[in-house]
C-alpha cells in the first residue's frame, strides 16, 4: 500500500506516472535500453524533450518571445544566476522577503549587486507574503523578485504585483494554477516539489531579458547559452525530463491547470476547515495568504505535536513534521496528492483531538 506522502520535497508523484515509468524503465519502447542510458541527442530522448517543452507551453499558454529551459542546480543556483545575468553594474534589484526561501535569494543577490528590500514580512507570525500596496520599489530597478509560495511558512501570493521584469521563484506551486506568463519576466522552479524528481530546474524566461547578460559571465551560467542550445549545451538530466514529460501529459489529461486549481483549492479547503473548526488546532498563516500547497498548523498543546506525527505515521500518513526551523505540523499537498489522503488526514485529526483534547 502506498503511503500518503505529505513531504515538502522530494515529494509525491502521480502513481500513474510512476507505474508508466516502471513499465518502461528497463526497455524504453522496444529499444532495449532505459531512457537513462540513451544519448541526450538521440531521437528517442529528443522526442521526449520536445514534447515536454510543448506540453509546458500548452499548459501555461506561454506566448512567443519566451523560452522554456531545463537547467541544473535547483532554485538555489538561480538565486545567484539571476543577478549574474540580469543585474547590471550600478543597477538595483528589488526583492520581497516573505520567509526562508526569499531570504536565501536576497542573500545571494547581495553578494552580486545592489539589493533593495521592497517589503519584509519574513519573520512575522502568523506568516504571510507582502501586500502589493506595501511594496517600496526602486525607479528603474533591474527586476522585482518574489517567492510565490513559501514552503516552510505556508504562505502564498494570490495576486501578483505588476512589473515588466517580475521574477518569481515558483518551486512549490508551479503548474498548480493558471498564470498569465506575459506578466512575468522570468519564472523558475526546482523540480522536486510539483514537477518531477530532483535534478532539473524549470526556467521560463523572456528572451529579451536573457539578452542583458554581460559577456563576463561564464558561458554555462548564461541563460542565453541554454536558450541557444535548447537546454542541450551540456548533458541534461534526461530521466527527470522524462518524468516531467509524463507529469505534463497527466496534467493535460486531468483538465490542465484550471482543473488542478479547482482540485487543489478543494483539497486545501477541507484541511483548513478541519483546522479552523476547533481550538485544538491553529493555522500558522494569515488566512488570506494561506497556501494551497503547504498547509501549516500547530496544536494548542505543542507537546502533543510529536505524538500526532508519530501516531499519524502509524496510519500511513507520512512526513507531517514541520520544517526543523519552525516546528509544528505541515501537510504538503501538491498536484499529485490524492483527495483520499486529505480525507484520511482530516479523519485522523478528529480522532486525535477526541483522544487528547
Mean pLDDT by 10 residues, the chain (357 residues): 96 98 97 96 97 98 98 97 96 97 98 98 97 97 98 98 96 98 98 98 98 96 98 97 98 97 98 98 98 98 98 98 95 98 98 96
| Catalytic residue numbers, as ranges | 101, 169, 193
Q: What is the DSSP letter of 127?
A: B
CB-count exposure of residue 89 (10 Å: 0-12, 13-18, 19+)? exposed
User: Nearest Cα to 17, choosing from 304, 259, 247, 352?
Assistant: 247
Looking at residue 357, its pLDDT comes to: 87
Looking at residue 21, its pLDDT comes to: 98
User: Are 142 and 119 contacting, i.e. CB atoms less than 8 angstroms apart?
Assistant: no
Looking at residue 1, its pLDDT comes to: 83
Per domain, the residue ranges of the chain are: 15-253, 256-356
Q: Residue 34 and residue 341: Cα distance in Å, rounded?
A: 32
Which class in CATH covers the domain with range 256-356?
alpha beta
Q: Residue 43 and residue 16: Cα distance in Å, rounded?
A: 25
User: Are 148 and 176 contacting, i.e. CB atoms less than 8 angstroms apart?
Assistant: no
H or E, element range at 46: helix 43-60
Which fold, 15-253?
A: 3.40.640
Amino acid at each position: 500500500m502506498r503511503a500518503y506522502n505529505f513531504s515538502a520535497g522530494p515529494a509525491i508523484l502521480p502513481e500513474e506516472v510512476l507505474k508508466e515509468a516502471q513499465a518502461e524503465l528497463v526497455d524504453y519502447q522496444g529499444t532495449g535500453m532505459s531512457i537513462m542510458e540513451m544519448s541526450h541527442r538521440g531521437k528517442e530522448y529528443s522526442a521526449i524533450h520536445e514534447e515536454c517543452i510543448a506540453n509546458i507551453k500548452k499548459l501555461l499558454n506561454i506566448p512567443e518571445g519566451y523560452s522554456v529551459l531545463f537547467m541544473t542546480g535547483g532554485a538555489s543556483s538561480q538565486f545567484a544566476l539571476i543577478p549574474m545575468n540580469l543585474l547590471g553594474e550600478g543597477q538595483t534589484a528589488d526583492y520581497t522577503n516573505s520567509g526562508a526561501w526569499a531570504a536565501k535569494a536576497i542573500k545571494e543577490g547581495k553578494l552580486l549587486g545592489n539589493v533593495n528590500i521592497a517589503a519584509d514580512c519574513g519573520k512575522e507570525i502568523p506568516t504571510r507574503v507582502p501586500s502589493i500596496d506595501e511594496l517600496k520599489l526602486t525607479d528603474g530597478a533591474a527586476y522585482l523578485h518574489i517567492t510565490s509560495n513559501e514552503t516552510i511558512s505556508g504562505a502564498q501570493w494570490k495576486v501578483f504585483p505588476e512589473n515588466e521584469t517580475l521574477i518569481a521563484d515558483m518551486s512549490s506551486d508551479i503548474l498548480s494554477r493558471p498564470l498569465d506568463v506575459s506578466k512575468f519576466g522570468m519564472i523558475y522552479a526546482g523540480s522536486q516539489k510539483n514537477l518531477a524528481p530532483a535534478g532539473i530546474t524549470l526556467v521560463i524566461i523572456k528572451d529579451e531579458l536573457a539578452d542583458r547578460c554581460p559577456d563576463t559571465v561564464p558561458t554555462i551560467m548564461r541563460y542565453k547559452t541554454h536558450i541557444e542550445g535548447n537546454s542541450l549545451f551540456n548533458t541534461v538530466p534526461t530521466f527527470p525530463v522524462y518524468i516531467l514529460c509524463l507529469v505534463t501529459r497527466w496534467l493535460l489529461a486531468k483538465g490542465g491547470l484550471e482543473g488542478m486549481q479547482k482540485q487543489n483549492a478543494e483539497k486545501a479547503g477541507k484541511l483548513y476547515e478541519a483546522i479552523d473548526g476547533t481550538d485544538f488546532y491553529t493555522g500558522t498563516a494569515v488566512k488570506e495568504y494561506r497556501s494551497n500547497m503547504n498547509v501549516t498548523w500547530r496544536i494548542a498543546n505543542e507537546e502533543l505535536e510529536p505524538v500526532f506525527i508519530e501516531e499519524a505515521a502509524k496510519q500511513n500518513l507520512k512526513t507531517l513534521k514541520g520544517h526543523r526551523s519552525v516546528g509544528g505540523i505541515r501537510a504538503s499537498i501538491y498536484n499529485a496528492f490524492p483527495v483520499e489522503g486529505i480525507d484520511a488526514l482530516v479523519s485522523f485529526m478528529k480522532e486525535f483531538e477526541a483522544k487528547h483534547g
